[in-house]
Amino acid sequence: MSTPTSKFKLSMLGLSAAMALTATSIVQAADTIKVGVLHSLSGTMAISETTLKDTMLMLIDEQNKKGGLLGKQLEAVVVDPASDWPLFAEKARELIEKEKVDAVFGCWTSVSRKSVLPVFEELDSLLFYPVQYEGEESSKNVFYTGAAPNQQAVPAVDYLMNELGVKRWVLAGTDYVYPRTTNKILEAYLKAKGVAAEDIMINYTPFGHSDWQSIVSDIKKFGSAGKKTAVVSTINGDANVPFYKELGNQGVSSEDIPVVAFSVGEEELSGIDTKPFVGHLAAWNYFMSVDSEVNDSFIENWQGFIKNEERVTNDPMEAHYIGFNMWAEAVKKAGTTEPAAVQDAIIGVTVPNLTGGYSAMLPNHHVTKPVLIGEIQDDGQFDVVWETSGLVAGDAWSDYLEGSKDIISDWRAPLSCGNYNVKSAKCSGQNF
């Protein structure tokens, strides 16, 4: 029979054991650096974003094999926002507040990025965003490693205008923020180049649009005015397949009316009938077909990691490759994963890109990149037909929009401003 004293001793022993277990758990948690992965693994965007989740797992695994960072192993914390834009914000908060991640790599659509932006700014955490976007945004908490419009859309128009002699323009997009803002910039740019309003046709369709018959008919009619016509496409997702098929059905070839796409890459072409796409174009900062040693190594590592020699690589994967390596270098430079220190340390960090050069993080939280135009081949790969002579610096604010052209972004002290108006000499906050 136990006595009150023995009961007390047993109670204290139990408490001590519990405290020791808790302390061990805390130490174990402190022994890893947590990296958040915020990509849709279900829903309409899973086809694109699951690959980026796997890319992050590969990059984290490779870094751990090198010894991790600051003497600690990296731990991936993966969540699924399920292609639900408000859920992105909820999952971002979960990663930062509950999981205590040191940085987050994620989002695809601009609406998902817009959804999480207030969370990262409120909690002062870091987001690395790997997809081409519309610009007109700058946040000290976001690093934009995909293309800004001057690194994709504007060079693509220059190529069509200067190399193919295009005079009439169809700006076709999915109806959400990225296509609308990008086309607003392109319309202003074309008019600044002397293109008349009647030579610009703009059309928007919802996500998943499938009935393209009347729209393609309108495009065909628009292109029959005796002037070389092209389609600049910001159509996203699975709507692309019926769009290109309908072009073929109505006898519109790439020689007649070329399409240059900003959202069609190797992943989107993988596993589908590419015949309707062949000969059309895409503008990116990277193609899998790029001939460089670093790219060959990346492809080999990717296919080995994913255990599938048929898997392709694409531009947003390279953006994660660049962003992750920049973050790792900034952490080593700062000697800490603390966001404010990393924000300061990462500006000026330079790492290899996959085209064989080096990309740098600029004071506006965008990176330097080459711009490539690729022609779609029947195997779903791209033949590079044009590229910039050097790297293009990402511009957060368009030089062609009123209210934007006078704004510069520079997150270095003492300015530390995402949208500084050079005319008014005022900083109007993080987002314009």
DSSP for 212-253 reads -HHHHHHHHHHTTSSS-EEEEEE--GGGHHHHHHHHHHTT--
CA 9 to chain centre: 59
Closest of 76, 72, 69 to residue 55, by C-alpha: 76
Mean pLDDT of 109-121: 96
pLDDT digits (tens, 9 = 90+) for 365-395: 999 999 999 999 999 999 999 999 999 999 9
Question: What CA–CA distance (Å, rounded) separates 410 from 426?
Answer: 13
Structure tokens at 252: 């519109």
**Residue 4 pLDDT > 80, yes or no?**
no
Which amino acid, one-letter code, is at 202? I
Please tell me which residue, 26 or 153, carries the higher pLDDT value: 153
pLDDT digits (tens, 9 = 90+) for 273-296: 899 999 999 999 999 999 999 999
Which pLDDT score is estimated for 352? 98
Question: What CA–CA distance (Å, rounded) separates 132 from 173?
Answer: 14
- Local confidence band at 429 (pLDDT 50, 70, 90 cut-offs): low
- Local confidence band at 89 (pLDDT 50, 70, 90 cut-offs): very high
Which pLDDT score is estimated for 237? 80
**What integer best gives the mean pLDDT of the chain?**
92
Structure tokens at 415: 């300015």
- Residue 16 contacts by C-beta under 8 Å, 6 or more apart in sequence? none
- Residue 93, classified by CB atoms within 10 Å of its CB into exposed (0-12), middle (13-18) or buried (19+), is middle
Which pLDDT score is estimated for 430? 52
Which pLDDT score is estimated for 238? 82
pLDDT digits (tens, 9 = 90+) for 45-78: 888 899 999 999 999 999 999 999 999 999 999 9
The answer to whether 10 touches 30, Cβ cutoff 8 Å, is no
Query: Tokens 């952490």 correspond to what residue?
Result: 331
pLDDT digits (tens, 9 = 90+) for 308-350: 999 999 999 999 999 999 999 999 999 999 999 999 999 999 9
Domains for the chain: give ranges and CATH numbers: 153-261 (3.40.50.2300)
CA 190 to chain centre: 25
- Local confidence band at 22 (pLDDT 50, 70, 90 cut-offs): very low
The answer to whether 267 touches 239, Cβ cutoff 8 Å, is no
Which pLDDT score is estimated for 356? 94
**Residue 421 pLDDT > 50, yes or no?**
yes
φ and ψ of 424, to 5 deg = -90, -10
DSSP-based three-state secondary structure for 29: helix
- How many residues does this entry show for the chain? 432
Percent of the chain with pLDDT over 90: 85
Q: Which helix (H) or strand (E) holds 268?
A: helix 266-269
Please tell me which residue, 18 or 276, carries the higher pLDDT value: 276
The answer to whether 281 touches 373, Cβ cutoff 8 Å, is yes
Q: What is the pTM of this model?
A: 0.89
The answer to whether 176 touches 109, Cβ cutoff 8 Å, is yes
Closest of 74, 83, 87, 126 to residue 105, by C-alpha: 126
Mean pLDDT of 224-230: 96
Instruction: Compute how many other C-beta atoms are within 10 angstroms of the C-beta atom of residue 106.
Output: 29
